[in-house]
Amino acid sequence: DAGVIQSPRHEVTEMGQEVTLRCKPISGHDYLFWYRQTMMRGLELLIYFNNNVPIDDSGMPEDRFSAKMPNASFSTLKIQPSEPRDSAVYFCASSFFAAEAFFGQGTRLTVV
């Protein structure tokens, strides 16, 4: 397996634009997590899914953020409209039985 695959690796966008981040989890994993990492706040959990169903989205900062998991092999995190304070590295991770998360390489988002 190629591991968790995220795209794009880097994204630079203007304030107000829509941003979509993509994730392909490891085949067979039943949990998918979206995290955001900054120097100030560390690795924050935004939302997680179990068997494609959102379980806890309490970490999503605002209504501008939304996430979907239409099937077991794909998830998206969307920010609309984007703001400069959304600049961070966004990680997707998958796991089996909500333990031992395997991370993608992340998407570095810069909103100018």
Partner 1 sequence: TQLLEQSPQFLSIQEGENLTVYCNSSSVFSSLQWYRQEPGEGPVLLVTVVTGGEVKKLKRLTFQFGDARKDSSLHITAAQPGDTGLYLCAGVGRNRDDKIIFGKGTRLHILP
Q: Is 91 in the site for partner 1 (CB under 8 A)?
A: yes
Q: Is 95 in the site for partner 1 (CB under 8 A)?
A: yes
What are phi and psi for residue 66, nearest 5 degrees?
A: -145, 150
Question: Which listed range, 12-20, 36-44, 66-74, 75-83, lies at the site for partner 1 (CB under 8 A)?
Answer: 36-44
Q: Considering beta carbons, is residue 63 or 99 the nearer one to partner 1? A: 99
- In contact, 111 and 26? CB cutoff 8 Å: no
Q: Considering beta carbons, is residue 6 or 18 the nearer one to partner 1? A: 6
d(C-alpha 109, C-alpha 112), whole Å: 10
**DSSP secondary structure string for all residues of 58-84:** TT--STTEEEEEEETTEEEEEESS--G
Q: Could you say which of 24, 65, 94, 104 contacts partner 1 (CB under 8 A)? A: 104
Please state the closest distance from residue 112 (CB atom) to partner 1, in A.
21
